[in-house]
Amino acid sequence: MIWLTWRQFRVQFLVIASVVLAAAVLYAATGPGLADDYQRFADNFIKNLAFARLNPVLYQVGLALLYAVPPIIGAFWGAPLIARELETGTHRLVWGQSISRWRWLATKVGVGGLGTIVVTGALSLAVTWWSSPIDKAINAGQESNFYLPRMFPVTFSGRGLVPIGYAVFAFALGVAIGLAVRRTLVALAVTLAVVILVQILAPTLIRPHLMAPTDQNTVATADNLRGFMISGPGPDAEIKQIEVGINAVGGWKLTDETVDKSGKVATLPKWVIDCEPNGPNERATSPKAAACFQRMADEGYSQHVRYFTADKFWALQWREFGLFLLLAFGLLGFTFWRIRRDLS
Partner 1 sequence: MNAALQAHGLGKKYGRRWALTDCDLEVPSGHVVGLVGPNGAGKSTLLNLSVGMLSPTTGSVEVLGQPAGTQQAKVGYVAQDTPTYARLSVADHLRLGAHLNPEWDDSLAQQRIQRLRLDPKQRAGKLSGGQRAQLALTLGLAKRPELLILDEPVAALDPLARREFLQDLMEAVAEQELSVVLSSHLVSDVERSCDYLVVLVDSRVQVNGEIDTLLATHHRLTGPRRTAKELPGDQYVVNESHTDRQSSFLIRTDRPILDPSWSVTQLTLEDLVLAYMGREVQSERPVLEVQR
Please give the residue ranges that form the binding site for partner 1 (CB under 8 A). Answer: 1, 3-4, 7-8, 88-90, 92-100, 341-344
- Give the start-end residues of each E strand in 60-164: none
Host H or E run for residue 305: strand 302-308
Cβ proximity to partner 1: between 89 and 232 the closer is 89
Q: Which of residues 89 and 233 has its CB atom nearest to partner 1 in the complex?
A: 89
For partner 1, the closer of residues 8 and 120 by Cβ is 8
The distance of closest approach from Cβ of residue 87 to partner 1 in the complex, given in angstroms and rounded to an integer, is 10
Residue 158 CB, shortest distance to partner 1, in Å, is 35
CB of 82 to partner 1, least distance (A): 14
HSE, CB side, 13 Å, CA atoms: give it for residue 317. Answer: 20
d(CA 299, CA 120): 53
C-alpha span between 308 and 242 (Å, rounded): 19
Q: Cβ 307 to partner 1, closest distance in Å?
A: 53
- Centre a 10 Å sphere on the Cβ of residue 120 and count the other Cβ atoms it contains: 26
Helix (H, G, I), strand (E, B) or coil at 265: strand
Nearest to partner 1 of 283, 341 (CB atom): 341
By three-state DSSP, how is residue 280 classified? coil
CB nearer to partner 1: pick between 1 and 122:
1
Considering beta carbons, is residue 4 or 325 the nearer one to partner 1?
4
Of residues 25, 24, 31, 39, the one with CA closest to residue 55: 31
**What's the min distance (Å) between Cβ of 86 and partner 1?**
11
Nearest one of 12, 338, 341, 5 to 179, comparing CA atoms: 338
| In contact, 217 and 256? CB cutoff 8 Å | no
- C-alpha span between 115 and 8 (Å, rounded): 14
The smaller minimum CB distance to partner 1, of residues 14 and 197, is found at 14
Contact 151, 250 (CB under 8 A): yes
Closest approach of partner 1 to the CB of residue 97, in Å? 4
Residue 309 C-beta: closest distance to partner 1, Å? 53
Is 193:93 a contact under the CB 8 Å cutoff? no
Least Å from the CB of residue 20 to partner 1: 24
Q: 96 vs 233, which CB is nearer to partner 1?
A: 96
Q: Whose Cβ is closer to partner 1: residue 50's or residue 99's?
A: 99
Dihedral over Cα of 218, 222, 226, 229: its sign: positive
Minimum Å distance from CB 18 to partner 1? Answer: 19
Rounded Cα gap, residues 123 and 63, in angstroms: 10
DSSP string over 21-68? HHHHHHHHHHHHHHHHHHHHHGGGHHHHHTTSTHHHHHHHHHHHHHHH
